[in-house]
Amino acid sequence: LDGSMVWVWDGRTPPASGPEAVDGGAPGGDPARPGSFVFPVAARPDQPVTYLPPACEPDGPCGVSLTLARGTPVVAAAAGRLRAASTDEQTDGIGFWIDAGRDSFGYSALAEYAPEARDGASVSAGQVLGRPARVLAFHWRQDGRAINPQPLLRATRPATL
């Protein structure tokens, strides 16, 4: 990975209030927590990763776009199975999902895919999936419900400017 690091979530609950709050957390107002999570980009500690404001629709998709250096490796956020996005999901900018139990993580289409990244393939957390052009849209669903992934992303790897 050319000096890049895979960033693993430390299990801290993302904030439930304030600017980093989880929008659409778990029922009852508790923040959503994934079973496990790896930051979806392998980047050097000094490599800039910038978060754009989340794009969330009521009862619809909720995603965050990350701006990256060209060629930055995109990795599996969890161990699971790759699934191609439906036509409707593709309209929302999602190219594929990793289904990992009650959590599903959606990614925009990539400019380049690893040979192992194909529909139905099993992946390990942190496994390289490919490389985006410059922006990666990332989504999170838990039990089928859209969750704002930005607090979880920031809890795992703070943005750099």
The string of DSSP codes covering 138-157 is EEEEETTEEE--HHHHHHHS
Return the bridge partners of 8, or none. 38
pLDDT class for 4, splitting at 50, 70, 90? low
Tens-place pLDDT, residues 123-160: 999 999 999 988 999 999 999 999 999 888 887 876 65
- Which tokens go with 69? 């250096």
The pLDDT value given to residue 157: 76
Paired tokens of 14? 């993302």
CA distance 103 to 142: 5
70 has a pLDDT exceeding 70: yes
Tell me the pLDDT of the chain averaged across its residues.
81
- Compute the CA torsion angle 94, 129, 159, 154 (nearest 10 deg): 70
Rounded (5°) CA angle 50-52-57: 150
Q: Cβ distance 42 to 34 under 8 Å?
A: no
**pLDDT tops 90 at residue 86:** yes
Nearest to 40 by CA among 159, 123, 125, 148: 125
Query: Which pLDDT value is given to residue 24?
Result: 45
The model's pTM:
0.81
Residue corresponding to tokens 């930051």: 39
